Structure 1
């Protein structure tokens, strides 16, 4: 048994010491330069900069359709691609954004329509999915929705009076 262990130890020692070729000699300088360029480029992201991140419609009557435009600029160092824009509910509809890449320094815009649903102070969030560093950016719309003056109020049940 001792001979087997001694033999295995000797084989391991020979195997580990026989790989004397220096690993640094195998590195190709061209590959290192290419990897450095690739890593530097991968750290460059587009930056989505808005002219405003919140729009307040003020007071509106219920069921009144309103809309606003959010303008943005790619202030980053890489092309910006917006893949999706969604709102926090179906009463707010984002539309008309470009799905084409936006070069650094270029501008774009999208429209947000709100159908005036809700009561009192209403706030809705619009989420932009893009190839920015965080992957998601948000803008917000707010309004104070007044009751519809033409709406018929439901009849209140009669309260019996005690005599």
Structure 2
């Protein structure tokens, strides 16, 4: 029998053999209980309540609020880096980076809003982003598809 015929028979035999069990996928990481991520959730929730108080007012945005938003953005980026260092390549890592980059932009829009409608819109946008910050961390992890 020639080598090519033997190779063909071997390939057919292997193709007909039952496939081995697929390797079990590792369960997705649950990070919401980790101190860093729990702190992000706590801070974002508190800031969401604070930002709602700016609705319908023309009061200047307090420096303390701005500082807290900056700290939260830093923590979100820290969470992004933590997940990246662990090799967890999922949506949460990317979303945290996006939120870290968007928080200063939403804060600027809130601070520079000139009309009541602009202010209310900026409050709503900041509130949505802060709410997203909580929900993406506390949502049950999804297995990769």
TM-score normalised by structure 1 residue count: 0.30
Is the radius of gyration larger for structure 1 or structure 2?
A: 1
- Greater strand percent: which structure? 1
TM-score normalised by structure 2 residue count: 0.32
Name the structure, 1 or 2, with higher relative contact order (CA <8 Å, separation 6+): 2
